[in-house]
Structure 1
């Protein structure tokens, strides 16, 4: 698996990190199989320059290491062609073999405290991870590398793109979701649900979470149905 981390693509005029990363994923998918796109929450601190929520996004690409540079190039071209003046996007691309415990620890640190751009660049280069910042400061490299580390654990964030989930119009039976890439449907109390109807607020696509290598959709009972719940 190759992970493509993207962060800090948004300002007041841009579409936002998650949507932009799905846009990049669509370009990557023209040549490689994209498994999905995950969103990962990072620290919200007054010392960090972020727009609204401070999260990064990661494209999961089913490809071997020999395609690393090509995938990076595709993503970089899309960023260069579309990012808005005033934003500071960062891009990190890594094969799973090069994501060490130090990279994972960096991602975990970025969820709870301020981490520095120079530390991200040094760690990436020491780990043979391709990394680059754009814009005036390129501070997005922090979130891009953090996202790569977090996504590799298969136990953080949530999918904003997975299989055909974005095409499902709700409400729909649980089995339809299970056939579209979700492994389990579980209540926030930890009860596995196998029958029933699932919906999401404002009919938005559901966003399941990777949990110990499985794809889990968390729900809560509402009016004899189950409402999807997001986990950060």
Structure 2
């Protein structure tokens, strides 16, 4: 079964961010044989004086495969990890849902979190109604808003960028064909900004920062062409397009 694990507000200004922690969490779950990671996305939420956040108010979502019998163990492992690893002063939130549980209302909540100041009570009520596990683990527990929003946005499939996919970081700096890239990482498409899909035999210079975006429910690597051939878009442009 496919599951989504959302986490938010696990850091402070002196520690590694939530993106780092969710990558470590993914590795721990895989090493324990509890789940197999498919990808991790970052989702930018509303920046407002009314919302406490560390630096950018972004949440993260781990997309993984497991079996129904492991859900209790996965929940326990995620809770234990965040309780041990969340930074002092953080307001960590954790969300665990089967992909099918993140329906229209949960997806709409994620979209609203990019535009509105939302409240913990609404997040908890929505999660309870959908039978989604959601808990604040440190501080005020305000991270439950971002954790649920990250799950909703990932499920909707049109927001954010990938912080991790299997094998992708190890390919940094390589020049590979689009077909090999898909085979080794699970990337669904390689596209130009005007929507042209590269064929499997076309070559791409991945450069120092290959980061697909989440579009139409799949990982999409955006590229452009110059005199040296196809290469990934710059970090600055990918950030603009994924926030």
Taking structure 2 as the reference length, the TM-score comes to 0.87
| Aligned match of 1:197 | 204
| Segments ≥4 residues shifted beyond 3 Å | none
Between 166-175 and 35-44, report the one with greater CA deviation: 166-175
Q: Report if the CA contact (8 A) 2:93-2:141 is conserved.
A: yes
TM-superposed deviation, 1:223: 4.6
- 1:90 corresponds in structure 2 to 93
| More divergent stretch after superposition (116-125 vs 186-195) | 186-195
Paired position in structure 1 for 2:41: 38
> Which of 46, 51, 55 is 1:52 aligned to?
55
User: Do the aligned residues in 2 keep the contact of 1:198 with 1:228 (CA within 8 Å)?
Assistant: no
> How far is the alpha carbon of 1:197 from its aligned partner?
3.0
What pairs up with 1:1-232 in 2 under 5 angstroms? 1-30=2-31, 31=33, 32-175=35-178, 176-180=180-184, 181-194=186-199, 195-200=202-207, 203-204=208-209, 206-225=210-229, 226-229=231-234, 230=238, 231-232=241-242
Deviations 1:173-231 (A, max 9, x none): 3334233222221112222233233233xx13x11123223321012234523233524
Task: State the TM-score, normalizing by the size of structure 1.
Answer: 0.91
CA distance in 1, matches of 2:183, 2:100: 30
User: Which deviates more, 160-169 or 182-191?
Assistant: 182-191
For residues 69 and 173 of structure 2, what CA distance do their matches in structure 1 show? Answer: 40
Judge which range, 169-178 or 79-88, deviates more: 169-178
2-side partners of 1:157 and 1:116: how far apart?
22
Provide the C-alpha distance between the structure 1 equivalents of 2:218 and 2:102, rounded to a whole number of angstroms. Answer: 20
The answer (yes or no) to whether the contact 1:68–1:95 under 8 Å persists in 2 is no
Give the secondary-structure state (helix, strand or coil) at the position aligned to 2:114.
Answer: helix
- 1:22 to partner: Cα distance: 0.5
